[in-house]
Amino acid sequence: MRKLLIGLAGAALASTMTFAYAQDKEVNIAVSIPAADHGWTGGVVYHAERAAKLLETAHPGLKITIKTSPDGASQANALEDLTTQGIDALVTLPHNSDELTDPLRQVKEKGVFVTVVDRALSDPTIQDLYVAGNNPELGRVAGEYLKNTLKTGDVVVIRGLPIVIDEERQKGFDDAIAGSGIKVLDKQFGNWSRDDAFKIMQDYLTKFPKIDAVWCQDDDMAVGVLEAISQAKRTDIKMVIGGAGMKDMIKRVADGDAMTPINVLYPPSMIATAMELTVANFYDQVPVRGKYILDATLVTKENAKEFYFPDSPF
């Protein structure tokens, strides 16, 4: 029995030493994301910085460098600079998928583990891991709600940017309302910008004397849309459906605001999920490859409190 206990103690010590060694293993990870130019990307920056602190505390050998860029060209330059630092992995949310595909291919060719977040590349073979919200479902959930709630009606749409995730969201929405009594009067790109959406909505209000509802792919744009409607004093519009889970919009849903009866989640905290999975590839020795897609949860008055985070910047 004594020999057995000594053997077990030795095995436990060896396991602890192996774990400690694994935790101390030096790994350099770069995180390249857009600068906080609107609410959702502000949330991305917030969650990236928060996750970096927690992960570095959990893994003493881990170093995470976060670089924000105001546009695609700046991000391409940042990627080049980051790879000269001898990084083991890159977690990136590209400004524009097409513009960043070749720069990311060059990063991958250097043997770097590449995790892409949110905005899919035109060449998915470059990425080891892809983490995103469910873009087709975001559109589908919004479309299903409008179809089931309005039954019939005239709807205007404000899209995001002309990139892959916008196309996925729009297709999900179009498929959901196909064959229904919902008629789309117009679709315009609002660039996920509150100001741009405000101007587009002003044009819609001038162009169309009757609008039953508005669907826009982003909560920042929904804020601009609501302001335009308020200024125009239009009473025909029954609801504005956005998406992402901005705390102000979630609060409106929770409070029972008739103009914003629901929201569809597309959380900026997905950057933290991507970072955690990437770190696990190096420290937990688990196979981390492929796609990790979050749910597009329908937020209603009944469950809104679960998704309301008052301390969040978004």
**Per-residue pLDDT at 145 exceeds 80:** yes
pLDDT at res. 97? 84
Under 8 Å between Cβ of 108 and 83:
no
- The Cα 281–Cα 59 span in angstroms is 13
Could you give the dihedral angle defined by the CA atoms of residues 285, 286, 288 and 293, in that order, rounded to the nearest 10 degrees?
-140
- Which CATH number, 3.40.50.2300, 2.60.260.20, 3.30.420.40, 3.60.70.12, labels domain 7-133+268-283? 3.40.50.2300
CATH 3.40.50.2300 intervals, the chain = 7-133+268-283, 135-264
Amino acid making up residue 150: L
- Averaged over 282-292, what is the pLDDT? 89
> Which pTM was predicted?
0.76
pLDDT band at 1 (very low <50, low <70, confident <90, very high): very low
22 or 302: which leads in pLDDT: 302
How many angstroms separate the Cα of 127 from the Cα of each of 31, 40, 91, 253, 278? Answer: 14, 23, 10, 37, 12
pLDDT at res. 24? 74
Query: Phi/psi of residue 291, each to 5°?
Result: -115, 140
pLDDT at res. 2? 34
The closest alpha carbon to 102, from 128, 75, 84, 129, belongs to 75
For the chain, give the mean pLDDT: 90
pLDDT at res. 22? 58
Choice among 65-74, 115-124, 173-182, 250-259 with the minimum mean pLDDT: 115-124
In tens, the pLDDT along 68-125 reads: 999 999 999 999 999 888 999 999 999 888 899 999 999 999 999 999 998 888 898 9
In tens, the pLDDT along 22-74 reads: 557 999 999 999 998 767 888 899 999 999 999 999 999 999 999 999 999 99
Render the chain in DSSP notation, one character per residue. -HHHHHHHHHHHHHHHHHHHHHHH--EEEEEEEE---SHHHHHHHHHHHHHHHHHHHH-TTEEEEEEEESSHHHHHHHHHHHHTT--SEEEE--S-HHHHHHHHHHHHHTT-EEEEESS--SSGGG-SEEEE--HHHHHHHHHHHHHHHHSEEEEEEEE--SSHHHHHHHHHHHHHHTTSEEEEEEEEE-TT-HHHHHHHHHHHHHH-S---EEEESSHHHHHHHHHHHHHHT--S--EEE--B--HHHHHHHHTT-TT---EEB--TTHHHHHHHHHHHHHHT-----EEEE---PEE-TTTGGGG--TTS--
Q: Which CATH superfamily is domain 135-264 in?
A: Response regulator (3.40.50.2300)
In tens, the pLDDT along 194-213 reads: 999 999 999 999 999 999 99
